[in-house]
Amino acid sequence: MAATPAYLGTLRTGVVDVSTANTARDGTGTIATVITGVAAGTRILRITAIATSDPADSILNFFRHDGTTAHFFDSIDLGNPAAASTTVDAWRFERTYPNLYLPNASWSLRAAVTVALTAGVLKVFADGGDL
C-alpha cells in the first residue's frame, strides 16, 4: 500500500471519431486512440460514446494498449438505433469505471467499431485525470 494516496491532479478528456469497420478483437486492424496516459498514470472515470448520425447495427470495442499490444477490454452493443435527425435523438451511451487505469505514458485507451457506419461517426470520449 502506498504511504500517501494518489489523487487526480489534472483533469483530462480524450476524444476520437470512430467510423472504420474492424471486427477483430485481437487488437489488429484499425483502432483509434481515445486517450494516452502520462508517466505518473492516468485514471479513466467514464467513457461516453455518441453517434452523429446512423451508426448501424454494430459493436463498439475498447482496448487497453500497452505500447506494443492491444488488449481487448470492453464492448458496447449499439443494437440498431435510428438515425439522428431533428425528430429522433442521437444514440448515446455512457459507462463508468471504478478501476480503469493507464499506468504510464506507454499505455492508451483505444476504440474500434465492428461495422462501417451508415452515416456520420461515433464520437468516443474518455473523462478522467492524471495522477
Q: Which domains does the chain have, with CATH numbers?
A: 10-121 (2.60.120)
Contact between residue 52 and residue 59 where contact means Cβ atoms under 8 Å apart? no
% helix, strand, coil for the chain, step of 5: 0, 55, 45
Candidate ranges 64-68, 76-80, 87-91; pick with highest mean pLDDT: 64-68
Rounded Cα gap, residues 57 and 25, in angstroms? 17
The pLDDT of residue 83? 64
The pLDDT of residue 34? 98
Over 60: is that where the pLDDT of 41 sits?
yes
Please, what is the average pLDDT of the chain? 90
Rounded Cα gap, residues 108 and 110, in angstroms? 6
Backbone φ and ψ for 33, nearest 5 degrees, come out as -85, 120
Backbone φ and ψ for 94, nearest 5 degrees, come out as -140, 135
Name the residue with higher pLDDT: 93 or 85: 93
